[in-house]
């Protein structure tokens, strides 16, 4: 058996998340079905991170094992010919057997997009979260700085999260307004279930003026999910991608193109 890594792009709308779940339509199940046809044997794929229903990806990374003799483009073309147009392989590379898409990732990054105007935009449905109340992006950005570094993020952790520890390290966090859009870019060593969406929902409470900037530090210190803001919609969340040690020679996460900032 040889091991391969692959980059996957998808629009999460219409899928019940990444992980295969019985007869439900999931991204993992669709990929495994299509790639098994290309390989002519059953394949199992492992992802860098499991995304929720409605979450999109610019470069999810998977690995799989196969003894099928296929070149890299045959994997890409064959798979893409057998999946919905909302799901696509962008590249395939051979990797050493010790490579693991989830365990060998050294960083993961996300972008969250809020469309901030009073009327919803028909062309942005399921691509950005619509927030009709005016948001103070400067206050949100100031409040977010306390989250940088290594912390116990229990206050931003979903009750069904199965991670063995709530401690994570946020390495970069930027929040800015671009016209009608408020965009959060965030990167860390790993993320808890719903962590990014819960951070956005909490910062949104500051953005609309319901809470002061200092409140986010209090939420973080409380280590209590009930103290934080609501979970923001999945529609605005994009998994930009994971990064790996240079020895594997894999493409870095792409520069997000939406919105154009």
Question: What residue numbers does the annotated binding site for substrate cover?
Answer: 110
Q: Which of 52, 136, 152, 224 is catalytic?
A: 52
Residues 36, 68: Cα–Cα separation, whole Å: 10
Most distant CA pair in the chain: distance in Å?
Answer: 59
Respond yes or no: is residue 67 known to be catalytic. no
For the chain, give the DSSP string.
-EEEEEEEEE--TTS--SS--TTS--HHHHHHHHHHHHHTS----EESSPPPTT-EEEEEEEEEEE-----HHHHHHHHHTTS-TTEEEEEEEEE-TT--TTTT--EEEEEEEEE-SSS--GGGTTTSEE--S---HHHHHHHHGGG-EEEE-GGG--TT---S--EEEEEEEEEEEETTEEEEEEEES---TTHHHHHHHHHHHHHTTSS-TTHHHHHHHHT-GGGS-PPPPGGGEEEEEEE--GGG-PPPPPPP-SS--
- Could you list the residues known to form a binding site, using ranges: 110
Q: For 139, phi and psi rounded to 5 degrees?
A: -65, -40
Q: Is the peptide bond before 259 cis (omega within 30 degrees of 0)?
A: yes
Catalytic residues: 52
């Amino acid at each position: 058996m040889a091991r391969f890594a692959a980059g996957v792009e998808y629009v999460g709308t219409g899928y019940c998340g990444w992980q295969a779940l019985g007869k439900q339509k999931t991204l993992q199940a669709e990929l495994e079905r299509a790639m098994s046809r290309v390989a002519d044997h059953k394949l199992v794929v492992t992802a860098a991170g499991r995304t929720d229903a409605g979450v999109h990806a610019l470069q999810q990374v998977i690995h799989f094992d196969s003894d099928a003799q296929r070149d890299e483009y045959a994997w890409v073309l064959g798979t893409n010919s057998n999946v919905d147009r909302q799901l696509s392989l962008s590249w395939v590379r051979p990797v050493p057997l010790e490579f693991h898409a989830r365990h060998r990732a050294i960083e993961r990054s996300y972008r969250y997009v809020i469309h901030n105007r009073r009327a919803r935009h028909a062309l942005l449905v399921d691509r950005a979260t619509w927030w009709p109340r005016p948001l103070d992006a400067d206050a949100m950005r100031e409040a977010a700085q306390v989250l940088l570094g290594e912390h116990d993020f229990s206050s931003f952790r979903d009750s069904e999260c199965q991670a063995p520890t709530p401690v994570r390290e946020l390495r970069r966090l930027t929040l800015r307004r671009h016209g009608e859009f408020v965009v959060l870019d965030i990167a860390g060593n790993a993320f808890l279930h719903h962590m990014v969406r819960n951070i956005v929902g909490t910062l949104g409470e500051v953005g609309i003026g319901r809470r002061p900037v200092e409140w986010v530090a209090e939420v973080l210190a409380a280590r209590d999910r009930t103290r934080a803001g609501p979970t923001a919609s999945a529609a605005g969340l994009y998994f930009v991608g994971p990064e790996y040690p240079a020895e594997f020679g894999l493409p870095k996460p792409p520069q997000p193109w939406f919105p154009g900032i």
